[in-house]
Amino acid sequence: MKSRGPWATAVRRLMRDRAAVAALVLFVLIVILCLLAPAYAAWANVDPFRSTLDQIIKVNGVDVPVMEQSTEGLGLGYTPIGPTWELGNYFLGADNQGRDVMARLLYGGLNSLLIAGAATLLTLAIGTALGLAAGFFGGLIDTVLSRILDILWAFPVYLLAISLSIVLIAQGIEIGPITIQSGSLWLPIFIIGIVYIPYVARPVRGQVMALRESEFVLAAIGLGVPSHRILLRDILPNVSTTLIVFVPIMMALNMLTESALSFLSIGVQPPDASWGTIIQDGQTLLYTRPLVAMAPGIAIVITVLALNVLGDGMRDALDPRSKIRIGRG
């Protein structure tokens, strides 16, 4: 008989959860679509990062200007073209600089996913390291690390992220050999990665403390297994379920945070796009071309929803008894 490990069991359980599978498929689809952004832009022959105020396109055989001069009042200002519903031909219309919203939506999604994913990895890496050290060694190490986490924890996440962004966006950061330019995508990754560290480190620390007292860890100590090996072989594998469940949930949180920062123009910097910056672009067109703001908004909602459903499914699949919750309390 082939013996099935805990991972294989969890995957089987996840595959039986229809909602989770649907969410997973949806999320993978979104990722693939976003990865196709450059191909779409090339195919549609648009440059989603350059203003095109005087372009004329054909819609249903009729020449239409992408930016239409206003006929009202003094005739100042332009109204961008609305959705044509023709793929590759300003499908979702143009924004206030005449750029193809569909192409920008895909590029923006790519950036949003990239930032959310990288920030998740950063948070998990630092949070896990801190949680393992604090929980396993205890004593002074725990006290110092926990107080640092408490300080981070004491700030409301958005307030901290906004404050960090405002300071860092202007001048970038230099940590030793690493220099992050002010316009770089690494900046929001770094900021979002930092603010959520306590959300990961705390539960990990708690779990490690419990595992530290478990009999199999005592047994390992009794066998004379060195600490680093116990951490790696006995404790980390038992924390890994928690960490894996954190991935989709942290991704969702990070996407929302990234959008918020970008919306406030302290996240992704123009001409780069993210779903947050596109919403901001669409803000001024809310009455005439509501779709510019709504399309990335809907994209965020769908992606975050898919990630949350997937996260719930993964939690149930990995440990039906666990009560991992993200957030305070």
Partner 1 sequence: MTAPLLEISNVSKRFAVGSRFSSQGLRIVNALDDVSLSVMPGETVGLVGESGCGKSTLGRCITRLYELTSGSLRFAGTDISSLSTREMRPLRRRIQMVFQDPSASLNPRRRVRDLIAEPLRVHTKMGSEEITARVAELLDIVGLKPDHAMRFPHEFSGGQRQRIGIARAIALNPELIVLDEPVSALDVSVQAQIVNLLADLQERLNLTYVFIAHDLSVVRQVSTRIAVMYLGSIVELGDAEDVFSRPSHPYTQALISAVPVPDVGKVGSRGRVVLTGDVPSPINPPSGCRFHTRCPIAQDRCRNERPVLRQLGASRHVACHFPSAADQAAQAVRP
Q: Which residues bind partner 1 (CB under 8 A)?
A: 3, 5-6, 214-216, 218-226, 229, 233-234, 237-238
Shortest distance, position 7 Cβ to partner 1, whole Å: 9
Place of tokens 């990961």: 200
Nearer to partner 1 by C-beta: 168 or 221? 221
Q: Which two tokens mark 253? A: 């949180």
Q: What is the DSSP string of 200-226?
A: HHHHHHHHHHHHHTSHHHHHHHHTT--
CA angle 216/219/221 to nearest 5° reads 115
Shortest distance, position 240 Cβ to partner 1, whole Å: 8
Q: What contacts 24, CB < 8 A, 6 or more positions away?
A: 306, 310, 313
Spatial separation of the C-alpha atoms in residues 297 and 295, rounded to whole Å: 5
Nearer to partner 1 by C-beta: 174 or 215? 215
Q: What contacts 309, CB < 8 A, 6 or more positions away?
A: 19, 20, 22, 23
Classified as helix, coil or strand, 73 is coil
Spatial separation of the C-alpha atoms in residues 302 and 232, rounded to whole Å: 37
Nearer to partner 1 by C-beta: 70 or 214? 214
Spatial separation of the C-alpha atoms in residues 244 and 256, rounded to whole Å: 19
Shortest distance, position 140 Cβ to partner 1, whole Å: 16
Shortest distance, position 2 Cβ to partner 1, whole Å: 8
Nearer to partner 1 by C-beta: 11 or 64? 11
Shortest distance, position 220 Cβ to partner 1, whole Å: 7
Shortest distance, position 313 Cβ to partner 1, whole Å: 21
Nearer to partner 1 by C-beta: 58 or 233? 233
Nearer to partner 1 by C-beta: 5 or 176? 5
